[in-house]
Structure 1
Amino acid sequence: MPRRASGARRRGQALLLAAALLAGCAAGERGLAATEAELAEPPPPAPVAAPRRAVPAPSGVYGAYLAGRLAANESDAAAAAEALLAALAADPDEPEILTRAFSAAVMDGRPDAVRLARRLPDSQLAALLLAGSDAQGGRWERAEARIRGLPRQGSAQILQPLLLAWAQAGRGNPDAALATLRPFVEAGALRAVAALHGAMIADLAGRAREAERLIRVAVAESGEPNLRLTTIAAGILARAGREADGARLFDAMSVGSDDIALTAGPAARRAALAGRAVASPVEGMAEAQVALGASLRRQGAPELSLILARLSLRLRPGFAPALILAAESLADERHVDAALAVLASVPAEDPMAPLASLRRASLLNRLGRADDSLALLRRTAEAFPGAPQPVVAMGDVLRGEGRHAEAAAAYGTAIDRLAQPGAADWPLFYARAVAREGAGDWPGAEADLRQALLLSPEQPSVLNHLAYAWVERGERLEEARGMLERAVAARPQDGNIADSLGWALFRSGDAAGAIRWLERAAELESRSGVINDHLGDAYWAAGRWAEARFQWRRALGLALDPAEAARVEAKLRDGLPAATALR
């Protein structure tokens, strides 16, 4: 059955990192009938730039506290900070109010946060904020002392050496800074990020050759290319007399139709050569915080990534990577309006502005504002006439709206914008195939599926989709079976592919083989009405009529389209047509 497998599960490491950073925030909380579960979590995140609104006049400290909690739940940082600071003024010694008022002040960017942080000696978040405040004030020795006091576990064990190195660089000792990072550069999981920050420190110190050596380590150790690493690396390589090597990094990133390729245009290249991406140790600290925040978001901790983005923005206001991280974290937490407000603050001249436009369009569509989303994407496509990404996004929106022919046309425009389709572009042909199939153009869909397989011959999703379509049409059954066996081998836990293989065997007359694979599919995807319907057909063909009716009844209780439901009801009434396994 042609359907994509579910996304990767959150990894346990993110939970450990989250617990470590939040431990200090929750320390000492008591009273106000807070539950244990509430105290184990941070206050609900609020946006970096949410619109301000009037707070209803609460009744006493409890009313102000509850109003602040409600505003925080709605991701209204300004209202949350206002109410919780009012509650704290009424009851200044209540630890829970203090902790939540501090967090709200951080999220709203208020100066009160620094004052409140000094009252939270056990909070890692407070220590990070105060270290940043000291750094901004040039008090590097105090900043270094605070950073050394961070526990070397959880999130802090990643941030601590990076921030310590930047504090040492800030007080004019790049040798100590590079020595701090050296053990992490030489080995371990932090090699890439430690080398990147070491390169930036060496670059600021005017040590071009050492910066070049370290940035090459960072590039080699990093996985997929990204704009930030490429921008930093290109600038460092250019200052070391290796401008052509930096240009090649941009060339590699600009290939294909992924969103990241849109950010590798002329504006980004000019920015990389115009000056240092990180121009001071304070900006280096902001870089470290946003990098960890991005990592935590990927691991399933958007609330922590939002906090780190906010800390980064206190050190470097208007920092586009931090703004985009904050917006994506808010969107992960379903605060879509707040995320849109943050994205709107990304400067139009920033190299990451086109990426922000794509994110805004996606969120507008998520809010049901498809027309607004399409209008923004059209403007972006006109501003970047050679880029496929905005037109791909238009196709996605149109396909979601059921406008399949228009979606196919949009994907076709995107394909035309590719200089030379490569292996990474198979999803674009696959998307057009789905749109063409939805528009009733099977020959066009089949051609696109074949092209996708030419680009990525062992792609399980495409193998499954094309083979299942052939099976449904009663065509190329042996070839389809072989393709599905390859797809199952590549993705053995995908119940939809197992269903496709079982259905191919059933349509070929192999009821026993079909039952084996369809039972496996039903184990993997027990809530699929189509899979249970298929298994019922196979049971009936094998003479297991009671079991067949059980599966059909089960299928009717799950999600089926009206036509499928009518067919299942007919089978419950009359049985499976006896003449053939084919429908």
Structure 2
Amino acid sequence: MPTPPSPPRILLAAAALMMAGALPATAQPSGGAAEPTTTAQAPAAPQPPAVVDPAAGLFANFLAGRVALTLGDTSQAADFLTTALRGDPDNLELLNRAFMAALLDGRPEALRIARRIPENGVALLVLMGSEAVAGRWDRAEIRVRALPRGGLTQALAPLLQAWTLAGRNQTDAALALLRPVIEHGRFRSLAALHGALIADLANRNREAERLLRISLSDQTEPTLRLAMLAAAILSRSGKPGEATRILDQVAANGDEISLAAAEPARRAILGQRGVASAVEGIAEAYVAMAGALRGQAADDQAMAMARLALRLRPNFAPAILLLSDILTDSDQNARALELLGGIRPEDALAPVALLRRAGLLDKLDRPAEAEALLREQAAALPTRPQSLVRLGDMFRRRSRFAEAAAAYDEAMARVPNPREQEWPLFYARGISRERSGNWPGAEADFLRALELSPEQPYVLNYLGYSWADQGINLDRALPMLRRAVELRPQDGNIADSLGWVLFRLGDKDGAIEWLERAVELEPRNGTINYHLGDAYWVAGRRSEAEFQWSRALTMELETGEEPAIRERLSGGLPERAWPAGLRP
């Protein structure tokens, strides 16, 4: 069943304001889920209040800003907290919170506030970046040396200090500083990569290649960003064939990220410098740290690192993509979409950004615009299936199954020799064909998906359940569904499928056992409750059957199930619905 909608963010912020309004005017900040039913429409988003009396409005703005920041709404957090700061400009708590909100929202005033809290580690990074952009590398290094030497900066500080030396054209000193980390440190691969970038910037191609190989040796499979930087360095080192092979390895994955390593995007990589300046190198370090933090679900810190990168490289595609993903995860789809517009069309990551934009347009209920983008990319990349797969996925989510199947047909025409990793495409088209009334085509797709990857529980389940529901191939469906249950023992839908095929085979006890298990796992699934009612009726447990059928009517059902249940409640299980061999 669909998850109930969460409380609108603005209502929570308003609740904080209401709580604040009940407090005495002299109060100061300390150091330290259903849609509304009382109004016809949700209130408009709050604007930062004009604080006429700072003592009266300070705490209200402070609380509202904290709530907004907790919810990931950096725009409102920055509005409220900077307004509160105007009411008490020397409050250290407010300075730190307003700074972080301004930084996370990408506002220029983060630098102004950072100058007032130089003991804040992140503020030091903002100040260091400002010095670097101005070419004041001595002062930038002083800022780096002032960073705390624990936690996040343990990995970051050596990279930043090396780049401040590179900014002064002191390449030997920069590489010497990184050498202990490369030889013995925990962050050897990262330090070696940045050493390679520093050497490449100084046109020391042989040394850049040597350091790059150290970084690559510590990776079982290079990330997209490492592959892009490696290809750039190798092509400049006179190894274009090896550079191409690295990109081919990424492009062969077939996912959306692979578009950045395929033609024509790779033209923006080969022959170019990994980074064009020491400032860009610092931004690269921030993005590497942001990616690591994102992988540890530390999204606030990841956002801060990405924003620091964008202060130095405003159109830096890796930082923009990371930030947009975080915003999307917090349901700020419009802001994520706007952010993606900052990636230049000629950037290697532009095709990836286009797919993300299309997905966001779909979430914003603008499917026509999403479709136009995807078809534009499909025409521009005539050998790549990704945009057509994404189009099919969009149609399928919107129950436009015939159109989805047609989009998947077009995508498959671009995959002449499917590999194991292409099984989801056959599965998705199979669902679309089945839902649009083409069962023979759907069955063929599910069987092909299982040929490519036999142990996919959802394919086993969909095909096995479809056979059971039609009363065909039951002996083939049973072992498939038993295997699916082994692979996904906590999935109520798969348990239901196993119970349903046992019911069709006339195994009353086995059917009831698994259907009861399915109801335990998915108690609000109408179809599962309906199936259990049928099994109870055949077992002679008539009152329990009627209870399950009545219960199912209070839940979401598939098309055609409601009239079938009402027929059962008025006259019992019809003879045609009994399992073969058990009909009365």
The aligned counterpart of 2:429 is 432
- Judge which range, 394-403 or 69-78, deviates more: 69-78
Q: 2:579 aligns with which of 562, 578, 581?
A: 581
For structure 2, which runs of at least 5 residues remain unmatched after alignment?
4-25, 33-45
The aligned counterpart of 2:377 is 380
Distance 2:112 2:267 in 1: 41
**Deviation of 1:317 (Å):** 1.8
Distance 2:500 2:145 in 1: 62
Q: Does 1:59 align with 2:56?
A: no
SS at match of 2:404: helix
Q: Contact 1:202–1:208 (CA<8 Å) still a contact in 2? A: yes
Q: Does 1:281 align with 2:273?
A: no
Q: Cα–Cα, structure 1 residues 478 and 142, in superposed 2: closer, same or farther, change >3 Å?
A: farther
**Deviation of 1:77 (Å):** 6.5
Q: Contact 2:236–2:271 (CA<8 Å) still a contact in 1? A: no
Q: What TM-score results when the alignment is normalised by the length of structure 2?
A: 0.81
Q: Cα–Cα, structure 1 residues 429 and 562, in superposed 2: closer, same or farther, change >3 Å?
A: closer
- Mapping of residues 411-450 of structure 1, within 5 Å: 411-450=408-447
**Deviation of 1:157 (Å):** 4.4
The aligned counterpart of 2:451 is 454
Distance 2:416 2:190 in 1: 33
Distance 2:377 2:79 in 1: 38
Tell me the amino acid that sits aligned with residue 564 of structure 1. E
Q: 1:517 aligns with which of 510, 514, 519?
A: 514
Tell me the amino acid that sits aligned with residue 96 of structure 2. T
**Deviation of 1:311 (Å):** 0.9
- Judge which range, 294-303 or 62-71, deviates more: 62-71
Tell me the amino acid that sits aligned with residue 479 of structure 2. G
**Deviation of 1:571 (Å):** 3.6
- Judge which range, 374-383 or 530-539, deviates more: 530-539
- Mapping of residues 98-109 of structure 1, within 5 Å: 98-109=95-106
Distance 2:27 2:139 in 1: 35
The aligned counterpart of 1:123 is 120
Q: Cα–Cα, structure 1 residues 203 and 67, in superposed 2: closer, same or farther, change >3 Å?
A: same
The aligned counterpart of 1:531 is 528
Q: Contact 1:396–1:407 (CA<8 Å) still a contact in 2? A: yes
SS at match of 1:273: coil
- Judge which range, 145-154 or 192-201, deviates more: 145-154
SS at match of 1:393: helix
Tell me the amino acid that sits aligned with residue 361 of structure 1. A
For structure 1, which runs of at least 5 residues remain unmatched after alignment?
7-30, 40-52
- Mapping of residues 332-371 of structure 1, within 5 Å: 332-371=329-368
Distance 1:546 1:161 in 2: 73
Instruction: Answer with 1 or 2: which has the greater Rg.
Output: 2
Distance 1:282 1:421 in 2: 44
Q: Cα–Cα, structure 1 residues 540 and 416, in superposed 2: closer, same or farther, change >3 Å?
A: same
Q: Cα–Cα, structure 1 residues 537 and 86, in superposed 2: closer, same or farther, change >3 Å?
A: closer
The aligned counterpart of 2:392 is 395
Distance 1:575 1:167 in 2: 81
Tell me the amino acid that sits aligned with residue 274 of structure 2. A
Residues 513-548 of structure 1 show CA distances to partners (whole Å, capped at 9, x for unaligned) of 233333333333333222233333334434444544
Q: 2:479 aligns with which of 477, 482, 493?
A: 482
Distance 1:192 1:493 in 2: 39
**Deviation of 1:86 (Å):** 4.9
Q: 2:197 aligns with which of 174, 197, 200?
A: 200
Higher relative contact order (CA 8 A, sep 6+): 1
Q: Contact 2:260–2:266 (CA<8 Å) still a contact in 1? A: no
- Mapping of residues 80-229 of structure 1, within 5 Å: 81=78, 84-140=81-137, 143-144=140-141, 146-147=143-144, 150-151=147-148, 154-167=151-164, 169-170=166-167, 172=170, 173-182=173-182, 190=187, 192-219=189-216, 221-222=218-219, 226-229=223-226
Tell me the amino acid that sits aligned with residue 179 of structure 1. R
The aligned counterpart of 2:290 is 293
**Deviation of 1:423 (Å):** 1.3
Distance 2:462 2:79 in 1: 54
Q: What TM-score results when the alignment is normalised by the length of structure 1?
A: 0.81
The aligned counterpart of 1:25 is none
The aligned counterpart of 2:7 is none
- Judge which range, 375-384 or 432-441, deviates more: 375-384
- Judge which range, 232-241 or 199-208, deviates more: 199-208
The aligned counterpart of 1:9 is none
**Deviation of 1:390 (Å):** 1.5
- Mapping of residues 311-326 of structure 1, within 5 Å: 311-326=308-323
Distance 2:157 2:529 in 1: 53
Paired residues, what number?
A: 537
- Judge which range, 432-441 or 548-557, deviates more: 548-557
Tell me the amino acid that sits aligned with residue 511 of structure 1. K
- Judge which range, 196-205 or 308-317, deviates more: 196-205
The aligned counterpart of 2:12 is none
Residues 218-247 of structure 1 show CA distances to partners (whole Å, capped at 9, x for unaligned) of 445446654322211112222333221111
SS at match of 1:101: helix
Q: Contact 2:268–2:346 (CA<8 Å) still a contact in 1? A: no
The aligned counterpart of 2:404 is 407
The aligned counterpart of 1:503 is 500
Q: What RMSD over aligned residues (CA atoms) do the two structures have, in Å?
A: 3.4
SS at match of 1:266: coil
Q: Contact 1:65–1:97 (CA<8 Å) still a contact in 2? A: no
Q: Contact 1:507–1:581 (CA<8 Å) still a contact in 2? A: yes
Distance 1:555 1:521 in 2: 14
Residues 346-401 of structure 1 show CA distances to partners (whole Å, capped at 9, x for unaligned) of 11111111111111111111111111111122222222222211111221222233
